[in-house]
Structure 1
Amino acid sequence: MSTTKKTVTLLGAGTQGARLAYMWSRQGYPVSLIDKSSKQLELAGEKIEALQKEGGFLGSAEGQWSNVTRALSDELKSAILKSWLVVECVPESLSLKRAVVEELDQLAGPETIIASNSSSYTITEILGGLKTKYPDRFVSLHSYWPPETSAIEIMGSGNTRPDIISLLKTETKAHGFEPFHVRNLSTGYIYNRIWAAIKRETLFALEEGVATPEEIDGIFKAVLKTPKGPCEQMDVVGLDVVLDIENHYAEVRPGLPEEPRTYLQKMVAQGKLGVKSGSGFFKYGDVKE
């Protein structure tokens, strides 16, 4: 590592924060996991410990795990002062992420990289309107479901220093990720843009009455040999969340068809949110997680 500081600090101890803490603890370097909820930190600790005991996901690093320090938000400043990288993993609210990033910018020195794990908002959108002290050290660092899905997407803003991208590519790979550099500003990064097109056409086909959810998922799995089809995947994510994402795409990409969003709006209005509500495209028992 080319920095004198060794700690990675993760802000937000939800599912993604816990899984990222597991990944970043791989090489034995310190990891700090910060959250405002002591209960959430306790649950995250149990998840991290379980993943470390399994160990098989990251193979050769088994036995090298560092302890993950879990702390409440009032210890954020002391954690940041020891960190070369701080990653926000807070809920997908643009106003919340802006507030968090602004606070991190005030607390962290110029050598500390500040990253967002957001799936919906680019670092450029999050920084919009903020007066940051060091605008060249911000980056999007988006992961999916580590460690099972090891892909991580690295995307800078127009101001991000090139050496930050190089360092993150090296360090994420060393910690068991498979890094992909998003070379230009892209809402949805790489994979989610492709996935968005699949979701949109699925919803369009349903709205037009071309096929049922069962038939769409059936042919999708038959051709691509995937365990889940797009309707099942959307049910697991939550149709209200899918709708929020689609609305955001429509805001930044004028001209997207309205029919897919209208179809989703009707389902959400009926309380059909997917797995979490018991029904969506399928009944809860029909969706295998």
Structure 2
Amino acid sequence: MTPWKLPSTAGRSVGILGAGVLGRRIGACWASAGYQVHIRDPDPRQTNAALQYITSELWRYKPIVDPNTISVRGFQNMEHAVEDSWLVIECVPEKLNMKIDLFAELENITRPDAILASNSSSYKSREMTAMVKPETAQRMLNTHYMVPPTIRIVELMTSGSTRPEIFPFLLNHFRASGMMPVIAHKESTGFILNRVWAAIKRECLMVLAEGVASPQELDAVWTEMFIENGSPPCTLMDSVGLDTVSLIEKHYIQERGLQDRGVLPFLQKYIDEGRLGAKSSKGGLYPPNHTVKTANQEQASYDNLHVPSLYFLDIGWNNDPDDVGFYRKGRIFVGSADGRSPLKVIAHHLPMPDGIALSQKAGKIFWTNMGTPGQNDGSIMSCNLDGTGARVIIPPGAVHTPKQLSVDQENEVLYFSDREGMRVFRCGVDGSNLQTLVRAGDWRKGIDDPTLWCVGITVSAREGKFYWTQKGPPRGAKGRIYRASIEMPQGFGASNRPDVEVVFDHLPEPVDLAMDEEGSALYWTDRGELPNGNTLNRAALNPDGSFSKHQVLARNLHEAIGLAIDKKNRYIYATDLGGAVYRFNMDGSGKQTIYEDQGAFAGIALLEQAVPSSSL
């Protein structure tokens, strides 16, 4: 048998299995030091989100290489992801059988010198060697990351038979990737820090389960006593996820023969209700969005694990109107919803872009271009999440002045409004099967009646309806919001369908629309005059399909346009032509300015940094 040698890293990748919160952060650590990174997840939404995270957030990791030279690739096929890897790190759910099967598969598809690591925080890698050969177990170990980039600690622990030369070899490479590695001197469930934290966490849960204190009271006294800057225990558990906390607790109880004094049933109640913590739209121990902080708020290590990326459009109006090509200076910006990432332009020289939407499943951005004012040259385009692969899917002239865009994620269908074209359309995500759903007027006979201009649009799958705005003239209070069925009534067409219904009228100038997660409320921006214009608005949808009287949630925007709802963290984002991106609580309170003074902003869309996990 050929003696085993430490692997060469030249031309080989670091393979990461699992593209969730920690998987993508581990990938960013290695990429920041110039290592090739392969991230594998069976869900393309996860890999797309991970690749976007690494691209947009790499600055946080203080890269020692040019960010434009990093090599990070996403995979769904495991063999292709790790076939050339010198190091493979699994970040799959904390289920031992899954990890045992995974390492058995890795034994067959990786090179025989590849080092195989587990990021598990509760299982020893010894427990994962049940189905591998003894020589494979000798190149297995734990490499448990905390939460980079803020906490750079990574704990290394033997499988019980890990080759000793692997540890100094990995220490050098971990340090090169910006980490602070520490080696556990012997096998220990929970390693070093997590073992201490496990005891503290368990007692905190018992205090809660027994009703001795509320999460807020417990965190308050803990903060006063022990923390000057960091995350108190209940906030920390919410950030990690209560389902993960429960799995780890079960393992500790089983291994150590501990008596469960009500902790697991206490956690199970939250899990059964879907209250998993910061990754859930229902929250956890705290309400949703508790750990999502903006740049001007104090942030701790576990905050903003689930903060989305913001994609929004600069219409180009801040450029010199006398400049040649004035109407082709629109841009797509990418930033983070906490406002801490520098804005990045991923597309430019666009002819007055207005509406934007994302498909995380397809890994695509879609946007509308209004084109040159007064000309029938609007278009719709798409590109990859990083701005590459731009293509026209609805060519100029097929639509007049397309505005807001909405994606039916389940059926991969685009809906959009055509302002001066006085129509509402839908088509496939590739532009195929373009259909006119509503025709409010005929632009060829004149476009001078703004009451017929279709602007905003959103889709309510729960109702089987789509909504759109017809904004009306400035200062006219003739704006309306309509709805109709997704399915065209048999025997009717876009000009005479009988199911068109006015749900709100006499509005200043309603623009973009959005539905909340449950489809129980409609939100819109209004560009009109104060007091009811330049506002953010909401109306509750009643069980009988009627709406309650609409509320003005926030005022004093500067020609409000774009609108997007973070349905998981429970925030509203809005843009205005004055050049600001705002964040609001769902009731309109807590207004924060995220970005400003870098353009005249129109449509906005969100990309989640963490989506529901898939089994590997």
Q: TM bucket by the smaller chain? A: 0.7 to 0.9
Larger Rg: 2
Contact 2:29 2:61 in 1 (8 A): no
Instruction: Determine whether 1:66 maps to 2:70.
Output: yes
1:254-284 deviation line (CA, Å, top 9, x unaligned): 1345233343344445554434252433333
Contact 1:203 1:260 in 2 (8 A): yes
Q: 1:124 aligns with which of 116, 123, 126?
A: 126
Structure 1 residues 245 and 167, CA gap change in structure 2 (3 angstroms) = same
2:284 & 2:36 partners in 1: Cα distance?
A: 42
1:57 aligned residue: 61
Aligned-pair distance for 1:232?
2.0
Structure 1 residues 37 and 268, CA gap change in structure 2 (3 angstroms) = closer
1:255 aligned residue: 258
1:111-150 deviation line (CA, Å, top 9, x unaligned): 2111111223221112235445522100111112222221
1:254 & 1:72 partners in 2: Cα distance?
A: 39
Equivalent residues, number: 283
Structure with greater strand share of residues: 2
Q: Letter of the 2:168 partner, please give it.
A: S
Contact 1:206 1:212 in 2 (8 A): yes
Contact 2:29 2:148 in 1 (8 A): yes
Contact 2:142 2:157 in 1 (8 A): yes
Structure 1 residues 48 and 260, CA gap change in structure 2 (3 angstroms) = same
- Matched position secondary structure for 1:98: helix
Instruction: Determine whether 1:97 maps to 2:103.
Output: no
Instruction: Determine whether 1:46 maps to 2:52.
Output: yes
2:23 & 2:289 partners in 1: Cα distance?
A: 28
1:13 aligned residue: 19
Structure 1 residues 271 and 18, CA gap change in structure 2 (3 angstroms) = closer
After superposing the two structures, state which structure 1 stretch, 88-97 or 273-282, moved more: 273-282
Over the aligned positions, Cα root-mean-square deviation in angstroms equals 2.5
After superposing the two structures, state which structure 1 stretch, 87-96 or 43-52, moved more: 87-96
Instruction: Determine whether 1:31 maps to 2:37.
Output: yes
2:40 & 2:283 partners in 1: Cα distance?
A: 34
Q: Letter of the 1:264 partner, please give it.
A: L
1:213 & 1:108 partners in 2: Cα distance?
A: 46
Structure 1 residues 186 and 286, CA gap change in structure 2 (3 angstroms) = same
Aligned-pair distance for 1:226?
3.9
Aligned-pair distance for 1:174?
1.0
Structure 1 residues 25 and 265, CA gap change in structure 2 (3 angstroms) = closer
1:269 & 1:17 partners in 2: Cα distance?
A: 26
Counterparts of 1:185-196 in structure 2 under 5 Å? 185-196=187-198
Identity of aligned residues (%): 36
Aligned-pair distance for 1:81?
4.2
Say which structure, 1 or 2, has more relative contact order (CA 8 Å, 6+ apart): 1
Contact 1:110 1:137 in 2 (8 A): no
1:146-204 deviation line (CA, Å, top 9, x unaligned): 22221111111111011111111111011111111112111112111111111111122
Q: 1:171 aligns with which of 165, 173, 180?
A: 173
Instruction: Determine whether 1:278 maps to 2:277.
Output: no
Q: Letter of the 2:255 partner, please give it.
A: V
1:124 & 1:219 partners in 2: Cα distance?
A: 39
Instruction: Determine whether 1:206 maps to 2:213.
Output: no
2:73 & 2:290 partners in 1: Cα distance?
A: 39
Q: What TM-score, normalized by structure 1, do the two folds share? A: 0.87
2:85 & 2:221 partners in 1: Cα distance?
A: 48
Structure with greater helix share of residues: 1
Structure 1 residues 187 and 279, CA gap change in structure 2 (3 angstroms) = same
Aligned-pair distance for 1:233?
1.8
1:78-134 deviation line (CA, Å, top 9, x unaligned): x54432211122233222221211111112233211111122322111223544552
Contact 1:213 1:231 in 2 (8 A): yes
Contact 2:25 2:54 in 1 (8 A): yes
